[in-house]
Amino acid sequence: MSQLFTPITFGQLALQNRIIVAPMCQYSAEQGQATAWHRIHLGHLALSGAGLLIVEATAVEAAGRITPQDLGLWDDATEQALAAVINDVKRYATLPLGIQLGHAGRKASCDVPWRGGGFLTAAHGGWQTSAPSALPFNPDDDTPLAMTKARIDEVKQAFVDSARRADRLGFELFEIHAAHGYLLHQFLSPLSNQRQDEYGGALENRMRIVLEIFREVRQAVPAHKAVGVRISATDWVEGGWDVSQSVALSQALEALGCDYIHVSSGGLSPAQQIDTKPNYQVPFAAEIKQAIAIPVIAVGLIVDPEQAEAILTAGEADAIALARAMLYDPRWPWHAAAKLGEKVNAPPQYWRSEPHDVKGLFKA
């Protein structure tokens, strides 16, 4: 059996294979509420044959959205809208569903990517942002408000409340978003966190809010459901967050009962210098994997089944997350199973699509 199609568990959550549909922002919500687009988007990805589908970064409060069109889960209206979508998806889904909970911090109040993604002022539908320190992402952005301890407590509670809502909706996995330059990553990195209190300065202090939110979310959801964290392993900027600090954070999260670490990189600073190429983030996942016992997910320009299989076979990661490759080919796991001589889940309505040269591809 190929490693890619070997079962794996995240905590007590069992996955039939090691292909993860990564969370991918769609910028298609209305006032934080899921729409028909989400039903279509998640519906076809749920039939992909992957081992797990993680719903896009979902804001824990309105001010935490990257754009005005971000998905949210902060009140009854956003919960009910997402429930309508998820209930339909789960009716036919052949895999467990997770959700990524996040807050954009100083990278909030932006336009959607296909309109340039620039900062939105209040006059153009934007809002006041907040961050660990009063440092904008871009020099031309409005300056965020440095968060008071009371504001930190509000955001921590927002993560917990959103996790409880997601639990009610039937999600089986919760991913705390501490990557890509968003709020929790902003606390981690010395480039964006210049606080002088217990949330800034030393590594122990900069990690504090991530560990506190993880601990409280873990306590708020059932033990049989998985809770993990997505991190950026490095800022790709001298003097910023790096792999050694990511190892320390991963070890601290493991000690608190974290079920997995999802390893990405970058996003904190416009000064980043990323050497983008196939597998460019895999070495970070491999280094973190050597330091912890819980599963590590690798992601980033992994596009071919043989490439994904080689990463797992070499012991560089425990699972593979796909984002753009899955949007381009929503049946990627089917094609991977065919190439690697494996079987994959598919809805019976699609069984007759099985090509003649790979008979037996679909699990009955």
Given a contact cutoff of 8 angstroms between Cβ atoms, the answer to whether 259 and 226 are in contact is: yes
- Which residue bears the tokens 């949330």? 199
Q: How far apart are CA 340 and CA 65, in angstroms?
A: 40
Which phi and psi (to 5°) does residue 187 adopt?
A: -70, -35
Q: Give the Cα separation of 83 and 62 in Å (integer).
A: 18
Catalytic annotation present for 199? no
- Cα 60 to Cα 310: distance, rounded to the nearest angstrom: 37
- What is residue 119's three-state secondary structure? strand
Report residue 240: phi and psi, to 5°.
Answer: -95, -165
**Choosing from 27, 182, 199, 260, which is the catalytic residue?**
182
Q: What is the 3-state secondary structure (H, E, C) of the chain?
A: CCCCCCCEEECCEEECCCEEECCCCCCCCECCECCHHHHHHHHHHHCCCCCEEEEEEEECCHHHCCCCCCCECCCHHHHHHHHHHHHHHHHHCCCCEEEEEECCHHHCCECCHHHCCCECCHHHCCCCCEECCCCCCCCCCCCCEECCHHHHHHHHHHHHHHHHHHHHCCCCEEEEEECCCCHHHHHHCCCCCCCCCCCCCCHHHHCHHHHHHHHHHHHHCCCCCEEEEEEECCCCCCCCCCHHHHHHHHHHHHHCCCCCEEEECCCCCCCCCCCCCCCCCHHHHHHHHHHCCCCEEEECCCCCHHHHHHHHHCCCCCEEEECHHHHHCCCHHHHHHHHHCCCECCCHHHHHHCCHHHCCCECC
Q: Which amino acids are annotated catalytic?
A: 182
